[in-house]
Structure 1
């Protein structure tokens, strides 16, 4: 049975301007191939303490806020497949996979599968214990029903998380008597993956939630590079969950309507606004594209609309 003592890696080992690149290398070597975007790259700090018990890997991650993504390309090109059990110890984390997002507070746990795309979002500094096992050791084939589900305090998953956290502390001492516990870890996590999944609640979005999402959209009205995926990430929602909040019009169509409304308001207040300037202020790449969209929605061109609000324009 394989056993390795504790190893610690930290961005303080390199110059500050190399920290973000070094961090991506660390998380890829520790877990699986990933991309990462730091929320505060100039002051980014991160560290990983890695331990191993047979086939089970225990990684304690302390880092600044970041967005981590396992892309479809990364997942499809991998040879090995793992289940990862994220146990939140400090701060908040969001695990998104298979159309769901689990919001983690300290003591909570969620599972994700390296064989499919997933994303992890940490809005500020955090600490997590991540336990990683080959899927083959757990006999886990179809995991779509168990990923990105919250195992909150009081659940069987949370009890398992507490036991794993305790075991992780003892691994630091490297006592050989602990080696016999690998089979118990596999059995424990196997029970978590096969036990009834936590209930998934799908409540109607509150007015406050929708107000927050629309505020994020208004903040990006002038951003021509805006995407629905960016909005989902900022709102801590999966793409599918985000679309559920817009049953009549998709978020992209709502964003377009908000941009046209902004253009109309601007033209009413200042009919002399240059159309090309207005196009960029409303998030359009080109003047011609803006004119087409405006005319399609309003029924007249921007100039014709503005003329209604100039002196004698309506006569």
Structure 2
């Protein structure tokens, strides 16, 4: 089916490889339409024989409602894309078909048919959707939802799976049925959409009240970040910004989950690199210091010496001499 955009009542987009071009060409169109319909996004197709994608989008007073579906793909909202836009939205999706995984704020939500999940456009997130899928999407201004819920951004229940059987699941059913009606009879939706923003705010409030305590959530997020850093700490290009991007959280969230660590994530990364260097120094007494420095993630020997003395109170060479005795050289 050729690409089609109807502006009368709804925006309708339908794309399919073959009829509209090669899979690569059609996916490039899809990537652009996805960003136009929601917020700037970067999408990547996952292996499939061909590509199909569709969006039906309706605009109401304070809320946009849509149905979207496609073949498997991954969708990212990065810090770079966030910096290019000023609008702030909260999005809610109700899974209609297929399964997926949403990453945001150090949390991961597994979603299946009937599951609702929230995510914030002002912070990085990633969708992994390995199956053919379909979702109902509700998008509303964050400013209005802050007013209605009284919640701060960090209190929003992002990337938290909400089951159809929960109290907030009642609101999910309302939006699912409303988007289904929008596909069949869009002219009948406007009146029924009047309470949409208030109901969305109620669902957010209910979900926030049932979340794991923030301390537990931060502890889980911190463990995920530490695991990420341990695997990559010897990469000299690893920075606080790259850690935040890799863990799909903002710098502010990253620093918050490290509140218990003196000096924050940069200091933790430095200690990991120094500990790696200590292991190398103890393992091979003939290994050149310059090689230990570069292999541990330090850009220069000077930086390595400064970090090593800060953490161990001695030089790498002195540490190597006394290391076998079990002292730290202090």
Please give the TM-score of this superposition, normalised by the length of structure 1: 0.74
DSSP-derived class of the 2:14 partner: strand
| Cα distance in structure 2, aligned partners of 1:54 and 1:37 | 23
- Find the counterpart in structure 2 of residue 91 from structure 1: 100
1:222-253, Cα deviation, whole Å (9 max, x unpaired): 21222334444555656555445430332221
Structure 2 runs not aligned, ≥5 long: 1-6
8 A contact 1:53–1:179 mirrored in 2: no
Q: 1:113 to 1:214 in 2, by over 3 A?
A: closer
8 A contact 1:160–1:188 mirrored in 2: no
**Offset at residue 220 of structure 1 (A):** 0.3
266, 285, 292: which one pairs with 1:278? Answer: 292
**Offset at residue 145 of structure 1 (A):** 2.0
Q: 1:226 to 1:216 in 2, by over 3 A?
A: same
Q: Which moved more, 1:195-204 or 1:179-188?
A: 195-204
Q: 1:128 to 1:104 in 2, by over 3 A?
A: farther
Q: Does 1:74 align with 2:88?
A: no
314, 324, 329: which one pairs with 1:300? Answer: 314
- Find the counterpart in structure 1 of residue 301 from structure 2: 287
| Cα distance in structure 2, aligned partners of 1:132 and 1:54 | 10
Structure 1 runs not aligned, ≥5 long: none
8 A contact 1:3–1:52 mirrored in 2: no
Q: Does 1:51 align with 2:56?
A: yes
- Find the counterpart in structure 1 of residue 73 from structure 2: 64
| Cα distance in structure 2, aligned partners of 1:215 and 1:155 | 32
**Offset at residue 291 of structure 1 (A):** 1.6
8 A contact 1:160–1:189 mirrored in 2: no
- Find the counterpart in structure 2 of residue 262 from structure 1: 276
8 A contact 1:94–1:122 mirrored in 2: yes
1:2-32, Cα deviation, whole Å (9 max, x unpaired): 5237432357755455577544313212212
| Cα distance in structure 2, aligned partners of 1:83 and 1:68 | 13
DSSP-derived class of the 2:33 partner: helix
Q: Which moved more, 1:200-209 or 1:86-95?
A: 200-209
8 A contact 1:44–1:64 mirrored in 2: no
| Cα distance in structure 2, aligned partners of 1:45 and 1:232 | 33
- Find the counterpart in structure 2 of residue 152 from structure 1: 162
- Find the counterpart in structure 2 of residue 119 from structure 1: 124
181, 184, 189: which one pairs with 2:189? Answer: 181
DSSP-derived class of the 2:151 partner: coil
Q: How does 1:197-212 map to 2 (within 5 A)?
A: 197-198=206-207, 199=209, 200=211, 201-204=213-216, 212=224
DSSP-derived class of the 1:121 partner: strand
Q: 1:261 to 1:131 in 2, by over 3 A?
A: same
- Find the counterpart in structure 1 of residue 227 from structure 2: 215
Q: 1:218 to 1:48 in 2, by over 3 A?
A: same
| Cα distance in structure 2, aligned partners of 1:20 and 1:10 | 9
Q: 1:192 to 1:30 in 2, by over 3 A?
A: closer
Please give the TM-score of this superposition, normalised by the length of structure 2: 0.71
**Offset at residue 302 of structure 1 (A):** 1.8
8 A contact 1:92–1:104 mirrored in 2: yes
177, 201, 205: which one pairs with 1:166? Answer: 177
DSSP-derived class of the 2:10 partner: strand
| Cα distance in structure 2, aligned partners of 1:109 and 1:146 | 20
1:192-238, Cα deviation, whole Å (9 max, x unpaired): 21563421422436998766543322210221222334444555656
